Every structure is written in C-alpha cells, then in structure tokens.
C-alpha cells in the first residue's frame, strides 16, 4: 500500500540529516523527528519516507494529523487511511493492529504534537503487535514511549558572520539555496549577485535557517529587495523579547516573520486570515463567503481577498479537487486563530462556521437520494474535519448540543458508507448525553444511534435506544415508521421470523409518506427475508422495486446493496445467471464509490455464484480473495452471511478436496487489490481516463520530451511560474513525485 504526499516544490539540502534519520529508522521501530514549527520536520520526514520505502514490502502509509483535534480518534484516522474505516465490532486500534500484524510497512504520523497522548498509546499498541511495522513520527515533542529514537531536526545551514560572501561560495549553504530557489519561483529574474549576497546572508542568518520563515520572506521578493526585507525584519526584532521567555527563540523568530507577513496584508485581508483559521482542513469560496463575511468585510469582497491571500502565500490551493478548495499551513492557521481570539470575534465566527456546516448537512440530507449522491459523498469527505470541528463546538458551547444531535443524525448513511460507525456512535452518544429528555430531535437520534449499534451487532445497546425512542416519540408517523424499520434490521440479524412482516410494514409506511430514500433499505430487508421464507416472487418484487426507485432517483449506494440482495436470492433460489450479473454490477458500483464494505460482500457472493456454476477452483479462489477483506472489516463471513457462506464453502471444498481448495484459497488470499478486482471481473484493468486538463496533458508531453519548466514556458508563451504551477498540478493529480514519472506516464498514454 502506498500513500505518498506529492512534492510540489524542489527539495533543498538535508543530505546529512536524511542519511542520519534513515540510519536511526533502520536501527529501531520508532523514529520521531522533533523540532519547532516551521523547521521542516514534515518535509524531511517525507523525503526519508521515500528513500526508505524500498525496505518495506507492503509499502508506506502517510497519515497527516494536523486537522485532528481529538486524541481518541488517532486510530480512526489511521484506519481510514489504510482503507479500513472503523467498521469493526472491536476497538479501532485492535482492527488496525490485526490488519498490520503480518505486514512489512512504514507508517508515517505527521504533526503529532497536539495529540501526543493519543499517538503514544496508539503507536505503543501497533509496535507491540506488529513486528514488521516501523513508525516515523513528526512532532514538536517526543512521544515518550519505550524504544523511541529522537532526531531533532536542525535549521538549514547558514553562513557564519566570518564566512564567505561571494555568490559562488554560498551555494553550499542550504538556507541560501532555499531562499534563491523560492525567490526565483516568484520572480524569475532574481539571482544571487555580488550586490545582494550580503543581504541574503543577513536575511538567512536573521531567520536562523528556518525553512518556513525563509519561504515566507522569499515570497516578498516581487515587491522588496533582499536589503529591504532585512530592514523590515530588523524593525520586528524587538518582538523577540515580547514573547514568553520559555518559548524557543526560533519559534519567536518565526512569529516575527509571520507578524511581518501579516502587516503586509490589508485590514480586510488580515480579517479574512483570522476568520478563515476557524476552518479545519480545507474550505471552498462559498464557505468562506458565509463564514468570513460581516463586521467590515462584504461577502462580495471575499473571493478577491482569497486571491490576495493565495498570492501572499497565506493560503494554498488544494489541487486535488475539481472545484477549488483552499487551506492554510498549520503554523499560519494557529497564528490566525490567535488573531481571531484577540479580535473578540471568535465566538461569532465559530458560530457561523457551525451554521454553515449545519446547513451543509441539511442540504446533503435533502439531496442524498439523487444523481448528486456521489458528489455529496466527495464533498462531505473533504469537509470531514470541518464537520468534526462543528460538532465539537456544539458539544462544548452551552445550549448547542441539539444542533450536534441534528447534524450527526442527518449524516447517518454517510457514516455507514464511509465506514465511520464507531465515530457516528460517539457523536450521537455525546449529543444525547448533553440534550434534555424532551428535546424534539432526541427520538430520531436515538433511532439512528440504534441503527449504528446494529451495524456493529451491539444488540443490547440498540434495544435500549429503540425503547427510549419509542417512549419519547409518540405517534409521529415518520418516527414510528423509522423505528419499525430499525426493528426489522434487528429482526433480520437475529433470524426473527417476523422480519419480513416488519420490513414490509416499514417500506409501506415510508411509501405512504413519500420518503423514497427511507423506503430503500426496508425493501432490501423485506426481499432477503421473503426469499429465506420461501416467497421467491415476493422477494424479487421487493428488490425490483428497490432497484427501480434507485434508478429513477439516481441513488447509487442502495442500488449496489440491491444487487447484493438479488445475488443472495437468485444464487440459491432462482436464476444463477441473474445472480452472476447482479454480483458483477454491484461490485462495479461499489468500486466506483470506493466502498470496501460493499466490495467485500460482492466478492463473497461471486464465490457462491461460481460454486453454483460448477467452477469450483474459481469459487475457492474468490473465497480466498474475500477472506482478508472480512478480517479488515473486523468480522467473518460465518457471522455476516452465515448460511450461504457455509453452504457454498463446504460444497466447494467437497468438490475440490482439501488440498486443491486450500491451494486456490491461498492464491486468492495473496492477491493485491488490483489483482483481485481483475480476477473477479475477468477483465484487464482499463487505462484510467486522464485526470489532466488539455493544457496539463500538453505540458506532460513536453516534460516527456525532456523540457525544463523554463523551456515549456518559452515554447507555450506563458510565465515560468505558470509552467511551475501546471507541473505541480500534474504531479498532484497523478500522485507522482518526479518528472521522470510524468514522462513515463505520457509515453504509456501514447501507446
């Protein structure tokens, strides 16, 4: 598995530090890169990660923690990065440990300092249970656990006051090289000369070699000479004595640099900087216009202010989205939060942030069963950190827990699809504990909480929450129907003979209320229950209606679920060819949604189909393919799909014999994700559609011809910086880290 962040700018220096860090990583299971903010821990860590990757057979996984605020969710974020979600009935940490137990993998945890206790506990569990896993952490302080090796990341090398000042001799100092490289990026005619080299040396020494400070200073080279930059920094040096005496001097120098960047902004830009710091992770222009406007900033100004902050390197554009999103470097975000607190505007802006995401969840809820469903999944995924921040604000602000209750309840199917059942239960439990018994949203929230308890087979909690909801709910038709639906799912899990009756009543109730979205899952339960009760035509009718509703409304999540229902019914009670077609369609739909939960069920069902068709080697292989996925979900097919699994597995083993079955099963189990999907679908993996724009594709071809960015700019008559941006976008979109990879990709596309 490989999740490597793209490097959009050139990597400068750090050769000795990189070598030493790799040596320490090879000598122990945990290496923590420490140092103050802005010293370059993350950049060094990613380079060490890339260089060390070849030593780990199962790859490298990079997990950024800057957006996370709750130490209890460290394992959840790692699980999501591993593709596990938090679907397990066990503790999420145990799920991760079980997944990694037999793997050789490097896990990188970036920005741990605000989550030290949570990270330390999680890393201790992983290293204890996973002998083949190594952890590389970056943090402002050590994790403080046994076996940890520390590597304090030093600043970049700077010339001393007696050192050389000739331009040709300064190239051996990393701080000077970094400043020149970043200055050229924004002002292509800049160069190190006899006239300016003393000022550049003074600037790098004043900034003590801190990479972030140097990059922020270099960004101003368009409007100021190196000497002018030095003068402005010199006037800010008294700020160093104004900070806490216990604060590292480098951190104070960084603060002076950011103070200076702040003063270069207009009052409106400063206000937007402070207000935008309330966002956790990225945000779009619409969110900024709602949250950051007011109190002297007109909403019509916000887009121009965003552009200004992009230009001044306060904001960066997140290039992974079709629609532009923006984020702040964490150090700059922390600075903005301080300014927001000083302004006295923090409460107002935080409430607006919550209000925006309250509205967002309301719109997502209303448009969920529609052709926009996948777009909403993507949108909510990108705003997950903001949703967490909004929910947390509600639960720490007196009198606001009811909004958290409403938001968490609206997201019920998003939580399920993304595999965040444990997190959903946490938010719902916290909100329920903080709201009064007579809150109007409480009964429905209890029903949603019961539903998520059932996803984890927590029957006792579900029963208690359903009873509370029924006691509080009265005779509200929607609520009565919804709780009846949840009870039908509980009945299905318990193999209750009343399942079909309960599900049929729930589906009919939602139909009468015009609640198409809510009718879908009861139809699935009804279809499966009727089939196992012997009413095949009734089962088909229920599932056909489910499919018809999904297709007429553009709903994809439940349509994939319906395909699994069709496979279950037809493989044992009807037309095996129809079962095979449904399994294939369902798998393709789940792959399009990146729904590993659904993928597991469909791969399993394909094994049943192969058994029915008499292709027992394929059946055994597919049972093997599905086996590690069941383990990743924290369950077993014997528990999740007991009757069909045991019947078809035993039948396949009997047909092949133990030896042949075990060999085919092992072969399937060993397949990679790409191999298992190709095997299940029986097709060569298609060349993915290019994610590049026409201009980016043209530039990729020029890179393949060996052109530099300057060459490309000259050929296409564009600015050098524009060419740099295009190449950076190409690297990000393709998930590459080098021009050689772009060239190889372009050559492959020509074939």
What are the φ/ψ torsions at residue 731 (nearest 5 degrees)?
-60, -45
Q: What is the pLDDT of residue 733?
A: 72
Q: What is the pLDDT of residue 645?
A: 93
Q: Is the pLDDT of residue 689 over 60?
A: no
- pLDDT tens digits for 523-547? 999 999 999 999 999 999 999 999 9
- Residue 69 sits at the vertex; the CA angle it makes with 65 and 73, to the nearest 5 degrees, is 75
Q: Report the alpha-carbon distance of residue 352 to residue 299 in Å, rounded.
A: 13
What are the φ/ψ torsions at residue 117 (nearest 5 degrees)?
-65, -45
Residue with tokens 């990694």: 100
Closest among 657, 655, 654, 638 to 646, alpha carbons compared: 638
Closest among 130, 133, 131, 135 to 74, alpha carbons compared: 135
Q: What is the pLDDT of residue 246?
A: 33
- What's the token pair of residue 395? 């639960």
Q: Where are the domains of the chain?
A: 2-152, 167-262, 583-686, 694-750
CA distances for 294 relative to 269, 274, 287, 348, 742, angstroms: 13, 13, 13, 10, 45
- Residue 402 sits at the vertex; the CA angle it makes with 401 and 404, to the nearest 5 degrees, is 65
Q: Report the alpha-carbon distance of residue 456 to residue 92 in Å, rounded.
A: 12
- What's the token pair of residue 149? 């090796």
Q: What one-character DSSP code corresponds to residue 164? A: -
413: part of which helix (H) or strand (E)? helix 412-418
Q: Report the alpha-carbon distance of residue 42 to residue 710 in Å, rounded.
A: 28
- What's the token pair of residue 438? 């007579």
Candidate CATH numbers 3.30.300.10, 3.40.50.300, 1.10.10.10, 3.40.50.150; the one for domain 2-152: 3.40.50.300
Q: What is the pLDDT of residue 495?
A: 86
Is the Cβ–Cβ distance between 326 and 316 less than 8 Å?
Answer: yes
Q: What is the pLDDT of residue 746?
A: 78
Q: What is the pLDDT of residue 649?
A: 97
Residue 252: band (very low, low, confident or very high) from pLDDT cuts 50, 70, 90:
very low
Q: Report the alpha-carbon distance of residue 620 to residue 323 in Å, rounded.
A: 44
Q: What one-character DSSP code corresponds to residue 688? A: P
Instruction: Give 694's contacts (C-beta < 8 A, 6+ positions apart).
Output: none
Range of weakest confidence among 75-89, 181-195, 456-470, 497-511: 75-89
Q: How many residues belong to the chain?
A: 751
Q: Report the alpha-carbon distance of residue 751 to residue 748 in Å, rounded.
A: 6
Percent of the chain with pLDDT over 90: 58
Task: Name the average pLDDT for the chain.
Answer: 88
- pLDDT tens digits for 467-507? 999 999 888 999 999 999 999 999 998 889 999 999 999 99
Q: What is the pLDDT of residue 162?
A: 61
Task: Give the mean model confidence (pLDDT) for residues 394-401.
Answer: 96
Q: Is the pLDDT of residue 601 over 70?
A: yes
Name the CA radius of gyration of the chain, rounded. 29
Q: What is the pLDDT of residue 604?
A: 97
Task: Give the mean model confidence (pLDDT) for residues 6-30.
Answer: 85
Closest among 212, 295, 263, 217 to 35, alpha carbons compared: 212
- More confident of the two residues 455 and 444: 444
Q: What is the pLDDT of residue 569?
A: 95
476, 477, 482, 487 alpha-carbon torsion, rounded to 10°: 90
Q: What is the pLDDT of residue 334?
A: 84
Q: Helix, strand, or coil here: 418?
A: helix
Beta bridge partners of 136: 31, 108
Q: Helix, strand, or coil here: 315?
A: strand
- More confident of the two residues 556 and 594: 556
- More confident of the two residues 597 and 433: 433
Q: Report the alpha-carbon distance of residue 494 to residue 513 in Å, rounded.
A: 28
Q: Is the pLDDT of residue 449 over 70?
A: yes
Q: Helix, strand, or coil here: 134?
A: strand
Please, what sign has the CA dihedral across residues 615, 681, 625, 585? negative
Pairing mode, strands 2-3 and 60-64: parallel
Q: Which long-range contacts (CB under 8 A, 24 or more apart) does 507-516 make?
A: 507/542, 509/477, 509/480, 509/481, 509/484, 510/481, 510/485, 513/477, 513/478, 513/481, 515/478, 515/481, 516/369, 516/549, 516/553
**Residue 352 C-alpha from the chain's centroid:** 24
Is the Cβ–Cβ distance between 602 and 625 less than 8 Å?
Answer: no
690, 696, 701, 706 alpha-carbon torsion, rounded to 10°: -130
CA distances for 257 relative to 154, 582, 677, angstroms: 18, 60, 51
Is the Cβ–Cβ distance between 255 and 241 less than 8 Å?
Answer: no
Task: Give the mean model confidence (pLDDT) for residues 627-636.
Answer: 79
Please, what sign has the CA dihedral across residues 454, 457, 463, 465? negative
Task: Give the mean model confidence (pLDDT) for residues 53-57.
Answer: 87
Task: Give the mean model confidence (pLDDT) for residues 334-342.
Answer: 92
Range of weakest confidence among 115-124, 221-230, 244-253, 281-290: 244-253
Q: Report the alpha-carbon distance of residue 611 to residue 591 in Å, rounded.
A: 23
- pLDDT tens digits for 658-672? 999 999 999 999 888
Range of weakest confidence among 134-148, 222-236, 612-626, 733-747: 733-747
Instruction: Give 508's contacts (C-beta < 8 A, 6+ positions apart).
Output: none
- More confident of the two residues 312 and 129: 129
Q: What do you get for the CA distance between the two ends of the chain, in Å?
A: 27
Q: What is the pLDDT of residue 281?
A: 85
Q: What is the pLDDT of residue 686?
A: 44
Q: What is the pLDDT of residue 7?
A: 67
Is the Cβ–Cβ distance between 567 and 579 less than 8 Å?
Answer: yes
- pLDDT tens digits for 125-146? 999 999 999 999 998 888 989 9
CA atoms within 13 A on the CB side of 333: 17
- What's the token pair of residue 466? 């359903």
Q: What is the pLDDT of residue 251?
A: 38
- More confident of the two residues 242 and 680: 680
Q: What is the pLDDT of residue 687?
A: 47
Q: Report the alpha-carbon distance of residue 53 to residue 55 in Å, rounded.
A: 5
Q: Report the alpha-carbon distance of residue 488 to residue 500 in Å, rounded.
A: 8
Q: Report the alpha-carbon distance of residue 220 to residue 226 in Å, rounded.
A: 9
Q: What is the pLDDT of residue 249?
A: 41
Residue 748: band (very low, low, confident or very high) from pLDDT cuts 50, 70, 90:
low
Q: Report the alpha-carbon distance of residue 178 to residue 428 in Å, rounded.
A: 48
Q: What is the pLDDT of residue 245?
A: 36
Residue 4: band (very low, low, confident or very high) from pLDDT cuts 50, 70, 90:
low
- More confident of the two residues 382 and 253: 382
Range of weakest confidence among 67-71, 417-421, 609-613: 417-421
Q: Is the pLDDT of residue 321 over 60?
A: no
Task: Give the mean model confidence (pLDDT) for residues 238-252.
Answer: 33
- What's the token pair of residue 250? 């480098």
Q: Is the pLDDT of residue 656 over 60?
A: yes
Task: Give the mean model confidence (pLDDT) for residues 672-688.
Answer: 77
Q: What one-character DSSP code corresponds to residue 247? A: S
Candidate CATH numbers 2.60.40.1890, 3.40.50.2300, 1.10.10.10, 3.40.50.180; the one for domain 694-750: 1.10.10.10
- What's the token pair of residue 618? 């394929």
Closest among 225, 280, 251, 275 to 66, alpha carbons compared: 280
Task: Give the mean model confidence (pLDDT) for residues 616-639.
Answer: 87
- What's the token pair of residue 56? 């780990």
């Amino acid at each position: 598995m490989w999740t490597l962040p793209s490097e959009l700018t050139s990597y400068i220096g750090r050769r000795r530090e990189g070598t030493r860090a790799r040596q320490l990583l090879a000598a122990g299971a945990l290496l923590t890169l420490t140092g103050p903010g802005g010293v370059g821990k993350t950049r060094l860590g990613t380079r060490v990660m890339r260089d060390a990757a070849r030593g780990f057979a199962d790859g490298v996984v990079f997990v950024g923690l800057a957006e996370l605020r709750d130490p209890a969710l460290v394992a959840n974020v790692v699980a999501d990065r591993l593709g596990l979600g938090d679907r397990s009935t066990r503790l999420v940490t145990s799920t991760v440990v079980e997944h990694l137990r037999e793997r050789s993998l490097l896990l990188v945890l970036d920005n741990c300092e605000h989550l030290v206790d949570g990270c330390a506990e999680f890393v201790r569990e992983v290293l204890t249970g996973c002998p083949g896993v190594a952890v590389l952490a970056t943090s402002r302080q050590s994790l403080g656990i046994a076996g940890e090796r520390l590597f304090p990341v030093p600043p970049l090398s700077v010339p001393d006051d007696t050192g050389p000042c000739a331009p040709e001799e300064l190239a051996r100092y990393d701080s000077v090289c970094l400043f020149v490289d970043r200055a050229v990026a924004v002002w292509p005619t800049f160069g190190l000369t006899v006239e300016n080299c003393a000022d550049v040396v003074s600037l790098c020494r004043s900034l003590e070699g801190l990479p972030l400070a140097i990059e922020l200073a270099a960004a101003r080279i368009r409007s100021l000479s190196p000497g002018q930059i030095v003068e402005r920094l010199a006037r800010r040096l008294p700020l160093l004595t104004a900070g806490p005496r216990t604060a590292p001097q480098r951190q104070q120098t960084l603060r002076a640099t950011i103070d200076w960047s702040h003063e270069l902004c207009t009052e409106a830009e400063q206000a937007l900087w402070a207000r935008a710091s309330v966002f956790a992770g990225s945000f779009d222009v619409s969110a900024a216009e709602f949250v950051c406007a007011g109190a002297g900033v007109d909403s019509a100004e916000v887009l121009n202010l965003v552009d200004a902050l992009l230009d001044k390197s306060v904001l960066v554009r997140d290039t992974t989205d079709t629609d532009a999103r923006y984020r702040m470097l964490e150090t700059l975000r922390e600075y903005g939060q301080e300014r927001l607190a000083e302004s006295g505007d923090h409460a107002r802006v935080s409430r607006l942030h919550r209000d925006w995401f309250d509205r967002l969840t309301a719109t997502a809820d209303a448009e969920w069963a529609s052709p926009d469903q996948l777009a909403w999944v993507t949108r909510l995924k990108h705003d997950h950190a903001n949703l967490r921040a909004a929910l947390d604000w509600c639960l720490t602000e007196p009198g606001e827990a009811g909004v958290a209750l409403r938001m968490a309840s609206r997201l019920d199917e998003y939580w399920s699809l993304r595999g965040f059942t444990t997190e959903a239960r946490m938010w719902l439990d916290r909100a329920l504990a903080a709201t009064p018994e007579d809150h109007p949203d409480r009964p429905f929230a209890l029903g949603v909480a019961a539903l998520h308890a059932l996803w984890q087979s927590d029957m006792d909690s579900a029963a208690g929450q359903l009873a509370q909801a029924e006691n509080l709910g009265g005779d509200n038709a929607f609520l009565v129907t919804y709780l009846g639906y949840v009870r039908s799912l509980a009945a299905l899990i318990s193999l209750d003979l009343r399942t079909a009756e309960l599900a049929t009543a729930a589906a009919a109730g939602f139909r009468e209320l015009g609640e198409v979205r809510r009718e879908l899952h009861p139809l699935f339960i009804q279809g499966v229950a009727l089939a196992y009760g012997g009413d095949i035509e009734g089962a088909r009718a229920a599932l056909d209606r489910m499919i018809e509703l999904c297709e007429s409304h553009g709903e994809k999540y439940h349509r994939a679920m319906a395909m699994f229902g069709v496979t279950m019914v037809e493989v044992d009670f009807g037309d095996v060819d129809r079962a095979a077609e449904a399994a294939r369609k369902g798998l393709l739909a789940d792959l399009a949604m990146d729904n590993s939960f659904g993928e597991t069920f469909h791969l399993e069902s394909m094994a049943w189909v192969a058994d029915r068709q008499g292709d027992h080697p394929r059946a055994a292989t597919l049972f093997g393919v599905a086996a590690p996925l069941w383990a990743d979900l924290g369950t077993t097919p014997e528990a999740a799909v007991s009757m069909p699994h045991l019947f078809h597995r035993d039948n396949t083993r009997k047909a092949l014999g133990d030896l042949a079955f075990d060999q085919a099963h092992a072969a399937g189990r060993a397949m990679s994700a790409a191999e298992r999907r190709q095997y299940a679908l029986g097709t060569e993996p298609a060349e993915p559609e290019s994610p590049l724009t026409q201009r980016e594709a043209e530039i990729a071809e020029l890179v393949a011809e060996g052109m530099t960015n300057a060459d490309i700019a000259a050929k296409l008559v564009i600015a050098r910086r524009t060419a740099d941006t295009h190449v950076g976008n190409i690297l990000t979109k393709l998930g590459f880290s080098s021009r050689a990879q772009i060239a190889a990709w372009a050559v492959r596309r020509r074939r």
